[in-house]
A and B are shown apart, each in its own frame.
Chain A
Amino acid sequence: MLRTEQFTINIGPQHPSTHGGLHVEAVMDGEFIVDAIVHLGYVHRSVEKIAESRTYPQYVPYTSRLDYLASHLPTLGYCQAVEKMLGVAVPERAEYIRIIMAEFSRIASHLLFIGSCAIDLGATTGLIYCLRDRERIMDMFEMTSGQRLIASYMRIGGVSEDLPDTFIPAARSFIADFPEMIAEYDGLIIGNEILQARLKGVGRLNADDAIAYGVSGPNLRACGIDYDIRKAEPYGIYDRFDFTVPLAENGDSWDRLLVRMEEMQQSIHIIEQALNQLPEGEVKAKVPRIIKPAEGIEVYHRIESSKGELGYYIVADGGEKPYRLHVRAPSFINLMVLPMISKGGKLQDIIANIATLDPVLGESDR
């Protein structure tokens, strides 16, 4: 055999398909990847440190900026964590609104995932169709909160405002049109043989490794592990809804794509139930203007974000501001398996792997 020399290629931080400021240092042997070193921190905004200088309600807008692709989900997690500290009961209607918003966020995030997966593999048009449908969700967010992307709609003790009259018809029409959208993605993206060939068997993650690395969310379920915090440890009112947790077997990129496709349909199912059960009433609990949890209270609250287990660990010192706040960011932990699943693959596979792990750099760098 000929002796060959390895060389490194820097994918990012400025590269078309790194979803932000991700930097992967790929050690290559020809077209094969020997090692991939993930460098993070290009989007670091010290969000956790900022929390220590903001009061509890003031911190809400910052959480929206963690996972900006599904901005209601991190806000929901934070609000519920603080509510857990205070022991506040959220009004029924607010709980339902929260579920609707959270699930729409999940769909928005997954739609962008499918679109960006398509464009990372070279199919530009696929992204545009996904974005087109995502825009409708964004419009709904604009109706309720006034902002499209970084909504900061939820508040400690409920949501900031009640749903406007236009929201429910818009949501219902989105649900009605959803099967058509899915059919289009199936035809253009999922059903494409080139895309299937690019994804099947690529970046395989086995269940044991996934658990060992702490992978969560759709990436974990693609390995065949039935673990969804909405089922395992229902927060909010998730125990009232009937939905299944989609699973796959192989844990490769293709399965990660399929799991998310299925998950969107389950989310639609949940939203439908929530819209049907939506009660009337208040949307915000009575919460004191100045929130001062007692000293020594610490709380860890986790939710199933669109990327995986999103947890908030908050320690109070009796003041208006948290003593320490830590975010368990699913993107960060999921990204850590990238070197493992990329090894032995080709250069083009690493792009597919990054795309299907679906990291959002705002969250992983924080």
Chain B
Amino acid sequence: MEHFFLNIAHSLIVWLMGLGLSSKGADLVLLIVQWICIVAIVTINVIVLIWLERKVAGFMQQRLGPNRLGPAGMFQTIADAIKLLTKEDIIPSAADRIIFRTAPIFFIIIAVMLYVVLPMGDGMQIVDLNVGVFYFISVASLSTICLLMAGWGSNNKWSLLGAMRSVAQMISYEIPLAFSLLGVIMIAGSLSLSDIVAAQNNIWFIILQPVAFITFFIAATAELNRGPFDMPEAEQELTAGAYTEYTGMRWALFFLAEYTNLVAVSALASTMFLGGWHGPWLPSWIWIIIKTYLVMLIFMWMKWTFPRIRMDHLMSFSWKVLIPVTLANILVTGAGIQFLAGMGW
């Protein structure tokens, strides 16, 4: 079981080379297969996640949640997807059509790109970049532009306001997000995600870096526009924020991308702090799935419990609390490393 997917990939390469492909060509085909797999994983995950989110919300609100279609309402999301696909595609007449159309596409592309560096099991990583963490952060930062495009292209005050807010929020929370990861990077001594997982063989970084984990979690919630920080949508204030004018599948793409981001960030959290794919008894890829889903459940739990924070509080929380705390954490971590190194560890 442990090497189930690796074996599949290996036999695929062997088969391809048996067909007469060069090893480079076989790698290319494998890469394409991996991309298709990622898209499939993302889609299936989103279907499960939307169902899960509604179920979690239902349970917290003492309801059952969706339960009509399929076992425990599992097919509700599929029905919703079909509904969204068949909806009329409305583009406001005053909208900037090119920007309006491309924004959701870029948003989902960027979300899918995040998966390239995530180790989904022992040796199951598409590209082991030596700057993996940095790749994740910088690619994730591009999604601000997509929201801005959506907000601007819609030519609607609510949309623009939602986009502005979310961009301001995401830019200010990128800094504590990156800073809180720095502590882990300093201990692991590498920016590569596989090295970081390997460094957690004995002890998870959540124990060594509890403050970093909490700050990362808060900043990630803001980056994902979720829970108490859902500024771009902010239903009660901005109707639907940046997505106000979107309908049908375009809107669904945003939704899809948000959940894709959620999975990616949760996977990053479990990789950086929860020991990645390390775990006893079960195969490594099952462990990462379990850990990722646990993190996502916490995200959902928070979302359905807390009210939305106010914009100015949000900004001042980032700049006045999170960033100083993460900076102090880096300082303490650095001092600790030097101290322990001096002790001869």
Contact = CB atoms under 8 A, between A and B. Distances in A.
Q: Do chains A and B directly touch (beta carbons under 8 Å) in the complex?
A: yes
Interface of A: 7, 9, 15-17, 31, 118-126, 128-129, 132, 188, 192, 194-195, 197-198, 346-349, 351
A276 B236 CA distance: 43
A307 B237 CA distance: 24
B308 A16 contact: no
Given A9-B158, A124-B57, A125-B61, A346 B305 contact: no
B81 to A, nearest CB: 23
Interface in B210-259: 228, 230, 234-237, 239
B313 interface: yes
A197 B313 contact: yes
Nearest to A17: B236
B306 A192 contact: yes
Given A125-B60, A197-B313, A192 B157 contact: no
A351 B238 CA distance: 10
B237 A351 contact: yes
B310 A188 contact: no
Given A9-B157, A9-B158, A124-B57, A347 B237 contact: yes
B142 interface: no
B308 A122 contact: yes
A161 B309 CA distance: 48
Contacts of B309: 194, 197-198
Dominant SS at the A interface? helix
A348 B311 contact: yes
Contacts of B304: 124-125
A120 B304 CA distance: 13
Given A125-B61, A348-B310, A119 B236 contact: yes
Interface residues of B, number: 25
Contact of B62 (A119, A132, A188): A132
B311 A31 contact: yes
B60 A351 contact: no
Given A7-B157, A16-B236, A118 B311 contact: no
A198 B157 CA distance: 23
B61 A128 contact: yes
A129 B62 CA distance: 8
B23 to A, nearest CB: 54
Contacts of A128: 61-63
A194 B236 CA distance: 16
A125 B157 contact: no
Nearest to B230: A122
Contact of A120 (B57, B161, B236, B310): B236
A219 B6 CA distance: 66
A122 B313 contact: no
20 contacts: A7-B157, A9-B161, A16-B236, A17-B237, A119-B236, A121-B307, A121-B308, A122-B230, A122-B236, A125-B57, A125-B305, A128-B63, A132-B62, A192-B306, A194-B306, A346-B310, A347-B161, A348-B234, A348-B310, A351-B236
Contacts of B61: 124-125, 128-129
A31 B158 CA distance: 12
A346 B306 contact: no
Contacts of B57: 124-125
Interface string B282-304: 00000000000000000000001
